[in-house]
Amino acid sequence: MKNLIEKIKKLKEEKNAIILAHSYQNIEVDEVADFVGDSLYLSKQAEKTNASIIVFAGVYFMAQTAKIISPEKKVLLPNLNAGCLMADMINHEQIIKFKKKYPGIPVVCYINSTAEVKAECDICCTSSNALEIVKSLNTPQVLFVPDANLGKWIEKQLQGVEVITYNGNCPVHHNIKKEDIEHARKKYPHAKILIHPECKPEVSILGDFVGSTSGIIDFVKKSSDKQFVIVTEKGVSDRLKRDYPDREFILIKDNMLCESMKLTTLEEIWHALEYEVNEIKLDEDVRKLSYNCIDRMLKVSV
């Protein structure tokens, strides 16, 4: 593996490339990554560089986002089978149908969606800023796609705003039950329970902290506590264990795995970069519309 890592690093220099790795990736991918974190953070960091090529170790919608924001750069996805089950729950036809059912109501689109869906929405959001984005619209009703759990969590935080959700979810988070949290609370009474808002609202409400992947990592960084129950994908727990060996991290369930996120290997990263294959391409009209959706968000929340 060491030789492969060195080959990838050498290729990056030769080709003026950068590698982005989402926090749910296999942890060895970090060895070659220039940036590790949430999907939008990664795309924004890539935009700031003078790299000619972006290799995105993540899933399809993330690579699309990088291309939306940096159209002049070549974006490569090492494994084209790396999709997102949540993003796949809504397509262009379905978002059109959903909007027609509720005419005149602004549409907030979670970053976990394709460019084609973003192009039909008014403003984008992330799990970090969803509350701020919905609040900024100053309207009694919003449509929220595709994550119903995040949408309903936001509705619980706001007074007098109805969040009409599309019936989508992340299966990894959606499968967590409140009994799982209650059991963890009894078993680890001194632990802080950190929950991703893609979980069901009745689960999220039981956490000591509810936030995005980066929010959970940041909470640990600032906390003086020594024990944490992590209620999100295993990649986050793996990185926390590596970075904070003096603390204890308990993954809420052993099966907290996004299989698509684990598809990308170092060999595939090398292959994509060596041969410049699996390039992400977007229709320019779709790219511009989806860029507007993201840009509106960035003007509200940096």
CATH number assigned to the domain comprising residue 186: 3.40.50.10800
Last residue of a domain, one of 169, 191, 226: 169
For residue 62, tell me if it sits in a domain: yes
Asked whether the beta carbons of 207 and 16 are under 8 A apart, the reply is: no
For residue 302, tell me if it sits in a domain: no
For residue 66, tell me if it sits in a domain: yes
Residues 75 and 6 in one domain: yes
Range of the domain at 272: 2-84+261-283
For residue 194, tell me if it sits in a domain: yes
Residues 178 and 190 in one domain: yes
For residue 297, tell me if it sits in a domain: no
Residues 237 and 184 in one domain: yes
Last residue of a domain, one of 151, 169, 187: 169
Residues 165 and 121 in one domain: yes
**Measured at the alpha carbon of residue 96, what is the angle toward residues 278 and 116, in degrees to the nearest 5?**
15
Asked whether the beta carbons of 108 and 129 are under 8 A apart, the reply is: no
Domain count, the chain: 3
Residues 184 and 238 in one domain: yes
For residue 290, tell me if it sits in a domain: no
Helices (H), the chain: 2-15, 39-48, 60-69, 92-101, 115-118, 130-136, 148-157, 171-174, 178-187, 201-204, 213-222, 234-243, 266-275, 284-300
Residues 245 and 206 in one domain: yes
Residues 196 and 155 in one domain: no
Asked whether the beta carbons of 77 and 60 are under 8 A apart, the reply is: yes
Residues 228 and 278 in one domain: no
For residue 296, tell me if it sits in a domain: no
For residue 293, tell me if it sits in a domain: no
Asked whether the beta carbons of 4 and 241 are under 8 A apart, the reply is: no
Handedness of CA 157, 160, 161, 164 (dihedral sign): positive
**Can you give the pLDDT of all 302 residues of the chain as single tens digits?**
789 999 999 999 999 999 999 999 999 999 999 999 999 999 999 999 999 999 999 999 999 999 999 999 999 999 999 999 999 999 999 999 999 999 999 999 999 999 999 999 999 999 999 999 999 999 999 999 999 999 999 999 998 999 999 999 999 999 999 999 999 999 999 999 999 999 999 999 999 999 999 999 999 999 999 999 999 999 999 999 999 999 999 999 999 999 999 999 999 999 999 999 999 999 999 999 999 999 999 999 86
Residues 220 and 242 in one domain: yes
Question: What predicted TM-score, i.e. pTM, was given to this entire model?
Answer: 0.95
